[in-house]
Amino acid sequence: MGVAEEPRTGVSAGSRTAEWWRPVLEQIKGIGPATWLSYAVLILAVLWALFPGLFTAYDAITGTPGQQLRAPSLAHFFGTDALGRDVFSRVVHGSVHSLSGAFVATAVGLVVGTALGLLSGSVGGVVDEIVMRIVDVLLSIPGLLFALSIIILLGFGTLNASIAVGAAAIAAFARLMRSEVIRVRSSDYVEAAIGSGGKLSSVLWRHVLPNSLTSVVAFSALQFGSAILQLSTLSFLGYGAPPPTPEWGLLVAEGRNYVATAWWLTAAPGLVVVIVVLAANQVSKSIRGRA
């Protein structure tokens, strides 16, 4: 807890010391192999999203008739689907949809949830009561069901699915942020800042927000993983982008009809989702552990 208790400011860290990399190195030393691997997985997924052409030469959308339903081989790592498309290529090209979707979802939850939590925790009183009762209601609705309701209102599609997943996470972010804010708000340095004539808004911005964020950041890494999973669930159910978009959940859904003859069509993208989500969870755990 020692690190968190030390007041930090929103001022950039670069001006503090020339040897800024030393603590970073210390931190890196403490990272275990599982976390290394998790980072590697996430970086690979991001690279897939940014430069899919480096990893596969096949077209993700247009198939080659006559090449359909081939088993996994060196030419096609994950085999080919019913239209003769390389499934590995579809997974690689699909990562941009799944990752950016999860990013948007996490951003929506993080920004709106943090703002609500900050407001609620710092203002207190009636505002706190109202916000928290709304959060109670939101938390009582199962996340997937809530996301589904939103998507029915907004319409189908990747962006709408991300917004829906993000909205479903707002309540959790708000609750977490509020508890952190209340903890930090009662610490001496915040009292001192207010006592020495600081405006509430600037105290919130300079002292409360940066010192409350560690848990929230850890939680957003966790949320990123579960957003991938929820987005995949939504696109599996057909609420995401329509085919032939290679969204991961959609790949699993499309493959499941072939389970009896070509199990890899559903297993391979499914495994990729599992591995990426586990990696995000591991990273979140490591951030929280060090905080």
Nearest to another protein of 225, 255 (CB atom):
255
Applying CB under 8 A, the residues found at the interface with another protein are 62-63, 65-66, 68-69, 82-84, 152, 155-157, 238-244, 254, 256-262
Residue pair 240/158 in contact by the 8 Å Cβ criterion:
yes
Residue pair 72/266 in contact by the 8 Å Cβ criterion:
no
Provide DSSP, 95-151. Answer: HHHHHHHHHHHHHHHHHHHHHHHHHHHHH-HHHHHHHHHHHHHHHHS-HHHHHHHHH
Nearest to another protein of 219, 239 (CB atom):
239
Instruction: Find the shortest distance in angstroms from Cβ 189 to another protein.
Output: 53
Instruction: Find the shortest distance in angstroms from Cβ 29 to another protein.
Output: 49
Nearest to another protein of 135, 234 (CB atom):
234
Nearest to another protein of 84, 124 (CB atom):
84
Instruction: Find the shortest distance in angstroms from Cβ 178 to another protein.
Output: 35
Nearest to another protein of 54, 152 (CB atom):
152
Instruction: Find the shortest distance in angstroms from Cβ 123 to another protein.
Output: 40
Instruction: Find the shortest distance in angstroms from Cβ 278 to another protein.
Output: 26
Provide DSSP, 177-240. Answer: HHHHHHHHHTSHHHHHHHHTT--HHHHIIIIIHHHHHHHHHHHHHHHHHHHHHHHHHHHHTT-S
> What whole-number distance in Å separates Cα of residue 215 and Cα of residue 179?
10
